[in-house]
């Protein structure tokens, strides 16, 4: 049996006295896609942010790629190069063009040469259909285009794990499909290991190897993908799926 890429063990998270995450446990193997589902405020995004050092956790442990996470800033700085994250609000840097946005990490953080990185970036841009936009500024792009660039910006660091935090939540419906297709493609043809928070149930059903259903900061169901959608065990999950109406 191979060791999992990500192992989350008895994770507890508080904001002051509010208990946000209760005893979260799961494992994620290389190449697997895990979706985090649950109602708003259930702690999905917080959990994702804990996995990228944007939120501290108070108890429990995370092991990534055989390495125990210490929560020290220096270590997170290292780990973030291997754990890419894409946000709901894209957050491209407005003062840098598309190429400069993408190259910042590989050139300044990873100290790779422009000549080595550029062909990879070109290829990524082609994959997401944005090859003609290398010199455009974020203000000239639509939401869907910005999100595709944000995905490339994260992929350019060659991460082992990608975290997607409701990346289609602020997009127009027709753009949602483009972005979801890119993520699906990543899972299928690149076997990228991913943790996805989403409210797109059809997409989640297609892509999930594993589903974590969270409510009130607790994992209520932890099942293989298909099973969650076809035979949800808990009443919470049944209600949740009924309310999503997909």
- The yes or no reply on residue 217 touching another protein (CB under 8 A) is no
- The yes or no reply on residue 109 touching another protein (CB under 8 A) is yes
Do 57 and 46 form a contact (C-beta atoms < 8 A)? no
Closest separation in Å from C-beta 166 to another protein? 13
C-alpha closest to that of 183 among 93, 214, 165, 76: 165
Do 125 and 135 form a contact (C-beta atoms < 8 A)? no
Selected from 2, 66, 94, 243, the binder of another protein by CB under 8 A is 94
Closest separation in Å from C-beta 244 to another protein? 26
| Residue 59, helix vs strand vs coil | strand
Residues 6+ apart with CB under 8 A from 183: 151, 164, 167, 194, 196, 203, 207
Contacting range for another protein; rule: CB under 8 A; set: 62-70, 83-91, 169-177, 231-239: 83-91
Do 184 and 130 form a contact (C-beta atoms < 8 A)? no
- The yes or no reply on residue 169 touching another protein (CB under 8 A) is no
Selected from 26, 57, 64, 87, the binder of another protein by CB under 8 A is 87
Contacting range for another protein; rule: CB under 8 A; set: 63-71, 122-130, 132-140, 183-191: 132-140
> What does the binding site for another protein look like in residue numbers (CB under 8 A)?
52-54, 73, 76-78, 80-81, 84-85, 87, 89, 91-95, 104-105, 108-110, 137-140, 150, 153-154, 157
């Amino acid at each position: 049996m191979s060791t999992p890429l990500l192992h989350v063990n008895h994770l507890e998270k508080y904001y002051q006295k509010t208990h946000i995450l209760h005893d979260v446990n799961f494992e994620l193997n290389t190449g697997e896609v895990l979706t985090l589902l649950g109602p708003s405020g259930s702690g999905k995004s917080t959990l994702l942010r804990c996995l990228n050092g944007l939120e501290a956790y108070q108890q429990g442990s995370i092991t990534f790629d055989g390495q125990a996470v210490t929560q020290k800033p220096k270590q997170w700085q290292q780990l973030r190069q291997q754990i890419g994250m894409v946000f709901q609000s894209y957050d491209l840097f407005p003062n840098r063009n598309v190429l400069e946005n993408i190259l910042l990490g590989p050139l300044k953080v990873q100290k790779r040469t422009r000549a080595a990185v550029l062909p990879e970036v070109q290829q990524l841009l082609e994959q997401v259909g944005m090859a003609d936009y290398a010199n455009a500024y974020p203000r000239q792009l639509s939401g869907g285009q910005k999100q595709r660039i944000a995905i490339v910006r994260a992929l350019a660091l060659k991460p082992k794990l990608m975290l997607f935090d409701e990346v289609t939540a602020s997009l127009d419906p027709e753009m949602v499909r483009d972005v979801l297709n890119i993520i699906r493609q990543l899972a299928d043809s690149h076997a990228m290991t991913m943790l996805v928070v989403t409210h797109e149930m059809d997409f989640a059903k297609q892509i999930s190897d594993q589903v974590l259903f969270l409510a009130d900061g607790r994992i209520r169901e932890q099942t293989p993908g298909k099973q969650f959608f076809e035979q949800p065990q808990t009443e919470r999950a049944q209600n949740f799926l009924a309310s999503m109406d997909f």
